[in-house]
Structure formats: structure tokens, C-alpha cells
């Protein structure tokens, strides 16, 4: 699992990105219309339930 450890204010955001938002699961659900994919919640629920996968699952050479 990833962990945000530092906010780099000097980094330029990608086009279309306004800024970071740290949301709770409930806050995310309340903004469902903004999601790009239903996988957003599925990935969060997998993590919260302890379901973790090694990176080699998607990148065998790692």
C-alpha cells in the first residue's frame, strides 16, 4: 500500500488536475458522479479489508 509522506508544492500538476483532495470513504461515495471508474471504490474497499497484492501481479519483472 502507498503512503503519502510529503507534499511537494514545487511540483507542477498535470493538465486538468486542480489539486489534491484527501477524502474519507464516505466523502468519496458522496461524490460518485465525479468518479472516472467504479474501480475507485473497489480498490479502497479491497485495501480496507486487508486484501493486498504484490506488485509482481501486474509487473512480473519487479
What is the pLDDT, as a whole number, of residue 2?
66
Number of alpha carbons in the 13 Å side-chain half-sphere of residue 49: 8
Average pLDDT over all residues of the chain: 87
Please indicate whether residue 31 or residue 18 has the higher confidence score (pLDDT): 31
Task: Say which DSSP state 11 is in.
Answer: S
- Domain ranges in the chain are 25-57
Size (the chain), residues: 62
Average pLDDT over every residue of 1-7: 75
Task: Say which DSSP state 24 is in.
Answer: -
CA 19, distance to chain mean position in Å, is: 14
Exposure string for 37-56, b = 16+ CB within 10 A, e = fewer: eeeeeeeeeeeeeeeeeeee
What is the pLDDT, as a whole number, of residue 29?
95
pLDDT digits (tens, 9 = 90+) for 28-44: 999 999 888 999 899 89
Does this model's pTM top 0.85? no
Amino acid at each position: 500500500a502507498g503512503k503519502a509522506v510529503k507534499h511537494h508544492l514545487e511540483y507542477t500538476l498535470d493538465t486538468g488536475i486542480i489539486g489534491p483532495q484527501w477524502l474519507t470513504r464516505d466523502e468519496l461515495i458522496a461524490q460518485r458522479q465525479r468518479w472516472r471508474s467504479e474501480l475507485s471504490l473497489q480498490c479502497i474497499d479491497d485495501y480496507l479489508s486487508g486484501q493486498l497484492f504484490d506488485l509482481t501481479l501486474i509487473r512480473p519483472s519487479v
